[in-house]
């Protein structure tokens, strides 16, 4: 789906609704108490009216337990006081409820949108959660330059241009962009790179760009390529191919064989794009396909993304917190969260009837720019497409269960080898990175039964005066003191899931001693610590595992536990080095002007263009500063005072 906009989609923030102050009625204890929870809810019900809205249930610490929507808040919330009719899952939730927050909306459709937004923000433990909530990549054909650029895009759609997507993965976008460059010869370089060129780059030589940077193509001819690209991505691929075929025939008849060969190569690129469509999406146009499979208490939802009759990728999702819920309810909650950031198409195909399909379609109307149809295909190509999605869902779930079983076995063996009291649910791995003490940084990665939890990764800029540059032991002490000092403050009762069940340190006995002593100073003696070193020969596979009491252990070379621990250590190493390189790059490109308050990129650029160097800006008089373009008298005074504080 192409979205032509110079700004991001409308922000559905809670500010557009009326949010009551949190109703706190029996705080002070975090022990589950069903009677106390019911009394809390009854007190809230007395203040409610039968209006549509969203409610949040909060525990004693104010953390969100559950987010729900209602057509009539008073009636819906009152249901939680009928304890005998509640499943065990909701009884546990009510027993922890100590306060509620109420948000009224204009309609139930608005309540559904707000519910999805709040679930995404707070990730409550009693709501269905879409785990894989990374932003999806799009293809962006920019419209803010005489020679538009084609590029991959993630995040808010603020740049002016046409957006095509979503694609299932960055790999599918990169493959498509590479083929589109061969097909339409559009530039992919940024504006600054293009402006500096005085001869074509390599992409022109390999026939993946028309080199507008050095006028190898006229603006009108480039605009024609852009028009064809828009048609192709917009679903008119057949017409574009026929047009290129006609141009190729005309070139051959005119004995312009070089142009005919170039058009032939473009046709091959178009054929490659369509030939790579493993899914037959003929007759669908723009639409998404969702099929669900369930087994062993887990659920998989397979999604196909079809745009312009082309398959733009597929992905399997594994929503969590689905125990005891109807599958249709899980699918509805999943779709509402999925389309919180992804623009919905006008057609959504599902494999089962959803009781709230009309409400969901109404809620998605604004984001789709028109009426949304949610349908269960019954026959023809759409039915065959749905059957293919269902098969993929079953296969994805089978793979997931097999991987989960293998991972569970490895974690059990890991717990036994490292002498842990239980199978770890949260493993934190630490590593440091620096070059001769400069730009020092510590990295923390987090893993668990579901794999790496990249949203939990943290980096620590080494900044304490007592930490000497290049002192790895002191760096590890600082990282541990800051990490565990903060978690002690934020989660002293260890109920928030932020305390590790195992801490792995990339290092040997010295690092282990530094970490153990630091935690002992904080009064923490029950967090399992293990240091991992490569041994005297620094050979992968001969890792030594150091325990706090000075013991060391080894694992066999072919041990799955060893491979898993190597994977954890390597991920921490990769993250720390990547963060260090980014920090070093920022330091290299930093300017003394960055330290002046109120001086942004535009003014800094204007000052450097006017004076030439930051040193000349520092030496400039107040009158000279005021003559610089874009610098007002007040800004000039700020700059002058910064460099001449005693003047």
User: Are 389 and 406 spatial neighbours (Cβ–Cβ below 8 Å)?
Assistant: no
User: Are 114 and 12 spatial neighbours (Cβ–Cβ below 8 Å)?
Assistant: yes
User: Are 445 and 575 spatial neighbours (Cβ–Cβ below 8 Å)?
Assistant: yes
pLDDT for the residue numbered 225: 87
Which helix (H) or strand (E) element contains residue 314? strand 310-317
What is the number of other CB atoms lying within 10 angstroms of the CB of residue 550?
9
User: Are 334 and 316 spatial neighbours (Cβ–Cβ below 8 Å)?
Assistant: no
pLDDT for the residue numbered 99: 92
Polymer length in residues for the chain: 647
pLDDT for the residue numbered 131: 65
Q: Could you tell me where the DSSP H helices lie in 590-611?
A: 601-611
pLDDT for the residue numbered 25: 39
What CA–CA distance (Å, rounded) separates 123 from 217? 51
Q: What pLDDT, in 10s, does the model give residues 282-296? A: 667 788 899 999 987
Helix (H, G, I), strand (E, B) or coil at 601: helix
Question: Which ranges of the chain have pLDDT less than 70?
Answer: 1-30, 131-134, 235, 237-238, 269-283, 434-439, 535-541, 583-595, 646-647
User: Are 273 and 180 spatial neighbours (Cβ–Cβ below 8 Å)?
Assistant: yes
pLDDT for the residue numbered 68: 92
pLDDT for the residue numbered 409: 86
pLDDT for the residue numbered 16: 45
Q: Which of 428, 443, 458, 461 is nearest to 576 (CA)?
A: 443
């Amino acid at each position: 789906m192409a979205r032509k906009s110079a700004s991001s989609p409308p922000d559905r923030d809670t500010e557009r609704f009326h949010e009551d102050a949190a109703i706190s009625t029996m705080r002070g204890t975090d022990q589950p108490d069903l009677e106390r929870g019911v009394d809390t809810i009854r007190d809230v019900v007395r203040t409610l009216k039968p209006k549509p809205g969203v409610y949040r249930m909060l525990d004693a610490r104010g953390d969100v337990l559950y987010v729900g929507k209602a057509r009539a808040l008073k009636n819906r919330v009152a249901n939680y006081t009928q304890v005998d009719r509640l499943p065990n899952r909701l009884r546990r939730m009510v027993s922890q409820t100590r306060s509620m927050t109420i948000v009224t909306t204009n309609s139930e459709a608005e309540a559904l949108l707000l519910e999805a937004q709040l679930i995404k923000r707070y990730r409550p433990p009693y709501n269905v959660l879409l785990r894989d909530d990374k932003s999806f990549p799009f293809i962006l054909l920019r419209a803010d330059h005489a020679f538009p650029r084609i590029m991959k895009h993630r995040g808010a759609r603020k740049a002016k241009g046409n957006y095509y997507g979503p694609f299932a993965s960055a790999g599918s976008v990169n493959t498509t962009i590479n083929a589109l460059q061969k097909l339409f010869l559009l530039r992919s370089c940024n504006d600054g790179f293009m402006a500096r060129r005085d001869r074509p780059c390599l992409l022109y030589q390999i026939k993946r760009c028309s080199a507008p940077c050095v006028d190898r193509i006229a603006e009108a001819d480039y605009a024609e390529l852009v028009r064809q690209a828009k048609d192709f991505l917009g679903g008119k691929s057949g017409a574009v191919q026929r047009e290129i075929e006609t141009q190729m025939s005309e070139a051959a008849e005119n004995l312009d064989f070089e142009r005919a060969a170039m058009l032939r190569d473009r046709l091959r690129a178009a054929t490659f794009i369509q030939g790579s469509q493993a899914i037959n999406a003929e007759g669908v146009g723009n639409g998404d396909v969702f099929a669900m499979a369930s087994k062993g208490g887990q659920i998989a939802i397979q999604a196909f993304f079809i745009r312009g009759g082309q398959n733009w990728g597929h992905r399997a999702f594994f929503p969590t917190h689905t125990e005891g819920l109807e599958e249709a309810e899980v699918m509805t909650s999943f779709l509402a969260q999925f389309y919180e950031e992804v623009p919905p198409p006008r057609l959504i195909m599902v494999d089962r009837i959803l009781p709230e399909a009309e409400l969901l379609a109404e809620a998605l109307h604004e984001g789709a720019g028109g009426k949304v149809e949610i349908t269960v295909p019954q026959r023809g190509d759409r039915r065959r497409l749905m059957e293919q999605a269902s098969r993929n869902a079953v296969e994805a779930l089978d793979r997931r269960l097999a991987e989960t079983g293998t991972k569970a076995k490895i974690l059990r063996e890991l717990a036994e080898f490292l002498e842990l009291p239980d199978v770890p649910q949260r493993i934190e791995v630490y590593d440091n990175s620096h070059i001769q003490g400069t730009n020092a940084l510590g990295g923390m990665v987090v893993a668990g039964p579901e794999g790496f939890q990249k949203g939990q990764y943290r980096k620590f800029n080494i900044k304490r005066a007592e930490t000497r540059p290049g002192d790895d032991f002191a760096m590890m002490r600082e990282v541990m003191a800051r990490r565990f000092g903060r978690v002690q403050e934020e989660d002293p009762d260890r109920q928030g899931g932020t305390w590790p069940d195992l801490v792995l340190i990339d290092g040997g006995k010295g690092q282990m001693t530094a970490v153990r002593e630091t935690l002992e100073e904080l009064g923490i003696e029950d967090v399992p610590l293990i240091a991992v070193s490569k041994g005297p020969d620094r050979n992968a596979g001969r890792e030594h595992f150091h325990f706090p009491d000075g013991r060391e252990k080894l694992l066999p070379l072919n041990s799955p536990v060893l491979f898993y621990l190597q994977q954890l250590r390597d991920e921490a190493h990769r993250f720390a080095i990547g963060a260090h390189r980014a920090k070093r790059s920022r330091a290299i490109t930093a300017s003394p002007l960055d330290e002046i308050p109120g001086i942004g990129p535009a003014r800094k650029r204007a000052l450097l263009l006017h004076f030439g160097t930051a040193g000349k800006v520092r030496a400039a008089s107040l009158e000279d500063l005021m003559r610089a373009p874009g610098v007002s008298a007040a800004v000039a005074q700020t700059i002058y005072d910064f460099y001449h504080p005693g003047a």
